[in-house]
Structures are given as C-alpha cells and as structure tokens.
C-alpha cells in the first residue's frame, strides 16, 4: 500500500487545478523559489547561447559553457522532497532540457553550425513553452 501511494505521488506530484486552468504544483515558498531560480538559470543560459552564436565569429567555448552550466550536473542538485512534489510530465520535461543542454554543448564543440545549434535550442524552448502553458507553481 505504501509503495502504491508513493508511486501515485511520484507520478501525480502535489497538484491541484489552478485558477487559470493550468495544473498548480503545490510547493512551500522556499521550494518554489528553488524551482524559479533554476528556471532563471536556464533562461540566462539560453541568453548566453544566443549571444555567443550572434557574434560575427561565434564564441564556441562561451556557448558550450553556457549550455553545460544547466546540463545534467545542475539537475543532480535538486532536493528529493521537491522532486516528489513535481508531477511526472514536469520532471520529464525538465530532465529532457538538462540532457539536451549537455548534448547541445557537445554539438557545439563537435563543430555543428550556428543554425544547427539554434534548431536544437528551438526544440528546447518549445518544450519550455509547453510546460509553462501546462503548469504553474503555487506557494510563495
């Protein structure tokens, strides 16, 4: 029974229907702040990637560093109690972004063109938009 309840929370997370039709993830204020800080770091990395690629001669090392800074190493630091509150699709979208940032960093260093890198980044930001359309963070 305990495993079934734990499995249910792992999939559903701690959620309710939000006032705007999105799923509201119920978090303590400090947990909400933690998730929002991670999102800001992701946005800053996207900015660093775009800026680096926008140079007349793209700064590949700067682009790689920006992407790597929000790769899977960043995801490894997430508090387990916070992870349990997040619904499975939210976790899957987030982890896919971290994995793809590492793959983007690898692709930069392997010589993919700026256009190819931007296509990779576009795929990621499309998932960010989907997630923000589906979820909102409660608390705080």
State pLDDT tens for residues 100-132: 999 999 999 999 999 999 999 999 999 999 999
User: 2-138: which CATH number, 3.30.160, 1.20.120, 3.90.1720, 1.10.3470?
Assistant: 1.20.120
CA contacts within 13 A on the Cβ side of 67: 28
For the whole model, what pTM was predicted?
0.88
State pLDDT tens for residues 5-58: 444 444 568 999 999 999 999 999 999 999 999 999 999 999 999 999 999 999
Give the per-residue pLDDT at 8.
42
């Amino acid at each position: 029974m305990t495993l079934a309840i734990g499995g249910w929370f792992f999939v559903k997370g701690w959620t309710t229907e939000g006032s705007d039709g999105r799923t509201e993830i119920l978090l303590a204020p400090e947990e909400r702040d933690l998730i929002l800080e991670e999102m800001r770091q992701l946005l800053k990395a996207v900015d660093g990637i775009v800026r680096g690629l926008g140079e007349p001669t793209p700064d590949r090392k700067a682009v790689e560093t920006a992407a790597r800074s929000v790769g899977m190493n960043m995801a490894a630091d997430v508090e387990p109690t916070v992870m349990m509150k997040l619904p499975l699709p939210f976790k899957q979208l987030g982890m896919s972004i971290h994995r793809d940032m590492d793959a983007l960093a690898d692709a930069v260093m392997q010589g993919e063109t700026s256009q190819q890198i931007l296509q990779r980044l576009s795929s990621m930001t499309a998932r960010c938009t989907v997630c923000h359309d589906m979820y909102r963070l409660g608390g705080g």
